[in-house]
Structure 1
């Protein structure tokens, strides 16, 4: 995929940061010497770690130059590196590995989680949040529009860009096998947004990217037009004119024994 658009992503910064706030609040560590924020994006989640653990050495990792530029601007004293998380092999072990809204882009979660846990110190935590919204209208309609347009063949694999999220039992079992105690839960956030255009605008910087990136600018405009029509039908306006975007997210905090 093309590089992320950090400015587009940050249009909904408050809503995107809420899950990271909830996740960091469940981490049972009182003292952290070193932490890494994988898939740190523009640094909004990294900033939470820095604020909560001001004496820790905090490293942010991402594969997007645009996101890293924003992160460095936001947190000039923190360390950031451009890294492919799938191939990341650190030289040290961490008290905390924080992964907010990133692991859904990586495959083979049983192997991935075991690998990440191996980078923790004994007693360290892997804290993860992943969108679990592939069955929501917002995402089912992406696939519907992709199959009905002249771009159907080119977008045939777009839905495979994200890993299918497993069940509570899956993640509990995988993490226990990796030698962890596990705290796991799911929260459905309900975001009141201005209108259907706001839902489309939100998703342009995340879920829609695998569908838009292979298209020409003209095709992108037509895809978004058709998608917006479907979104407007699926998310009716409330009494105040706003629409409610349901957004389920899966969380877990795994502590290495």
Structure 2
């Protein structure tokens, strides 16, 4: 799994927009589970809503970020949190619902991991994942263009690279789930998010796509880099009187091992 620092406050600046795909995903799970696990739970606010939805279930959250988990623990949620790397962590056969929201795009080779998780699902178990599908969007293309320029390529180092196409299409995940005997429900949605404030697209990507970049740059380089990137993002996503429209494509896949 990609190794870099997370900033819960920056990530949470657009909490309403970031949470909407999670609720759309979970709405497709028709379960009465005993054990639920959220893989890539972050700071835990959304994981806590699973405990609200299924009050009789034991709910757990797993994340690799100590910073995110520290904030999750401070929330006093009815959830057990633990630190683990999603490249190796397997929930096994004892969970009725396995959820992952915007996490596996960071995991190299996650197709193999999801195959194993799907294979382990018990009868009447559910596996539901959501990943961003916006890696060809202007925001990400511009980031790749900027980091490839000589100054930033030198500052970031020869071993630095951003992944261009780290996720499958919805039907690709559906193929994985179906091959493991699950009934499949896949779809995609583009949310035309209206973001408030100055430079909101820059602020958005500072919470997610830019984390590997910002981890590498010095304080001075970071200021210059963000100034350069912000100018280009403002041109690609011009402000309107009511806010800045930031289309965000998301991929969803839900699998259910039906009781026969």
TM range (shorter): over 0.9
- How far is 1:64 from its partner? 0.8
CA contact (8 A) 1:21 1:48 kept: no
Give SS of 2:231's match. Answer: helix
Q: Structure 2 CA distance, aligned partners of 1:82 and 1:163? A: 27
2:165, 2:141 → 1: CA distance? 15
Cα distance in 2, alignment partners of residues 46 and 96 from structure 1: 12
Moved more, 54-63 or 175-184: 175-184
What secondary structure does 2:128 align onto? Answer: strand
Q: Does 1:20 align with 2:18?
A: no
Q: Secondary structure at the match of 2:123?
A: strand
Equivalent position of 1:35 in the other structure = 36
Tell me, in whole angstroms, the C-alpha distance in 2 between the residues paired with 1:234 and 1:155: 27
What CA distance in whole angstroms lies between the structure 2 residues aligned with 1:23 and 1:185? 10
Secondary structure at the aligned position of 1:243 is classed as strand
Deviating above 4 A after TM superposition, structure 1's stretches of 4 or more consecutive aligned residues are none
Matches within 5 A, 1:32-111: 32-90=33-91, 92-111=93-112
1:10 alignment partner in structure 2: 12
Shift of 1:103: 0.8
Give the Å deviation of 1:237.
2.1
Please, which runs of 5 or more residues in structure 1 have no aligned partner? none
**Counterpart in the other structure of 1:127:** 128
Which deviates the most, 221-230 or 208-217? 208-217
Going from structure 1 to structure 2, the CA distance change for 1:163 and 1:71 (only over 3 Å counts) comes to farther
Structure 2 partner of 1:198: 200
Per-residue CA deviations over 1:112-141 (Å, capped at 9, x if unaligned) read: 211111332122011101011101111111
* Structure 2 alignment gaps of length 5 or more: none
Per the normalisation by structure 2, the TM-score is: 0.91
Work out the CA distance in 2 between the residues paired with 1:98 and 1:168.
16
1:158 match: secondary structure: coil
